[in-house]
Amino acid sequence: MLTNRGFTLVETLFVLFIICMLSLLTMTLHLPNKNNQVIIQEITEFLNQAKLEAIVSKKTVTVQFLKDKVLWKTTDKEKNYQLSENTYFDSYKMTFNSAGHIKTAKTVTYHTLQQDFQFVYQVGSGCFYVQ
């Protein structure tokens, strides 16, 4: 006489499905948010990468500050940095020439919920600082 004391395959798969769904929910709920200093550092590195691309490739690089992202592109390459929710840049467009310089000085403001950060570009050199 055969006795069934174990779980069926369907019951086991159902339990595994529930465990996977619960673990997925707990992982997404506990993802830490980046603080403003980390985001500013990432944006700074992204903008420096655009300047270096202009110097190395000897091509003009166009940088666009858009509402939801920062975008830089050359004739054959394009990269973007997606901004997080509730943050945005004032719209602006500038170019780095083949030496990594810009033509005009400009202050571009990055708005967050807590405070505003200003990326101040110096005329000629293409160098900037954040305040």
Q: Tell me the two tokens of residue 83.
A: 């901004």
Q: What are the tens digits of pLDDT across the range 73-100?
A: 988 889 999 988 888 888 889 888 888 8
Q: Does domain 36-130 have CATH number 3.55.40.10?
A: yes
Mean pLDDT of 94-122: 87
For the chain, what is the HEC assignment?
CCCCCCCCHHHHHHHHHHHHHHHHHHHHHCCCCCCHHHHHHHHHHHHHHHHHHHHHHCCCEEEEECCCEEEEECCCCEEEEECCCCCEECCEEEEECCCCCCCCCEEEEEECCCCEEEEEECCCCCCEEEC
Tokens, residue 41: 């550092």
pLDDT tens per residue, range 50-66: 999 989 999 999 999 98
| Nearest C-alpha neighbor of 63 from the set 85, 45, 78, 42 | 78
Position 19 scores a pLDDT of 92
User: Residue 38: pLDDT above 60?
Assistant: yes
The answer to whether the pTM exceeds 0.85 is: no
Contact 69, 80 (CB under 8 A): yes
Binning pLDDT at 50, 70 and 90, where does residue 16 land? very high
| Sequence ranges of the domains in the chain | 36-130
